[in-house]
Amino acid sequence: MLKIIPQTVDKAGIAAALALTAAALFLPNNASAQTVQCAIAKAPAEHAICNNENLIVLDEQIARMNAVRKVAFTTLPEISNFSKRHQVWERKRNSCGLDFDCIELRYRERINELGSLHLL
């Protein structure tokens, strides 16, 4: 007869597993995941990004960082604040028009900002 022995549940382990699962759901599925959708790009800055390999790489990095950070927020105000800050950044980036250097600077600023968020 098979006897099933209950195992103790490690709540921290479950929380970590859930966080990783959630992160996997929100992370881009492939290396081409971007914040700018080139097929429907409208703003001049978006066209500039889609036509510059360096800017595409930076955009992909932002997409990955955004996905990781979104999972870390647990309250509606945190999520809302994060989304609003991203929208402000997008407007700032788009104000660069076709100026590649300006766009790159905006990306590097956002990457630094996202990197400095303390999530733990």
Q: Does 32 or 94 have the greater pLDDT score?
A: 94
63 found inside a domain? yes
Q: What is the pLDDT of residues 59-69, one digit of tens each?
A: 999 999 988 88
**Residue in the block written with tokens 């996202």:** 114
- Rounded to whole angstroms, how far apart are CA atoms 57 and 63? 10
**Does a structural domain hold residue 3?**
no
Q: Which of 110, 115, 14 is nearest to 55 (CA)?
A: 110
Answer yes or no: is 90 within a domain.
yes
Whether residue 17 is contained in a domain is answered as no
Residue span of the structural domain in which 30 resides: 24-116
* Contact between 67 and 28 (Cβ < 8 Å): yes
For residues 89 and 62, the answer to whether their CB atoms sit within 8 Å is no
Residue 108 within a domain: yes
- Residue at 13 is within a domain: no
Q: pLDDT tier at 119 (50, 70, 90 boundaries)?
A: low
Mean pLDDT of the chain: 79
Residue 103: other Cβ atoms inside 10 A: 25
* pTM metric for this prediction: 0.69
> Per the domain annotation, does 1 fall within a domain?
no
Total tally of structural domains belonging to the chain: 1
Q: Over the stretch 87-116, which tens digit does the pLDDT of each residue have? A: 999 999 999 999 999 999 999 999 999 988
Domain membership flag for residue 16 = no
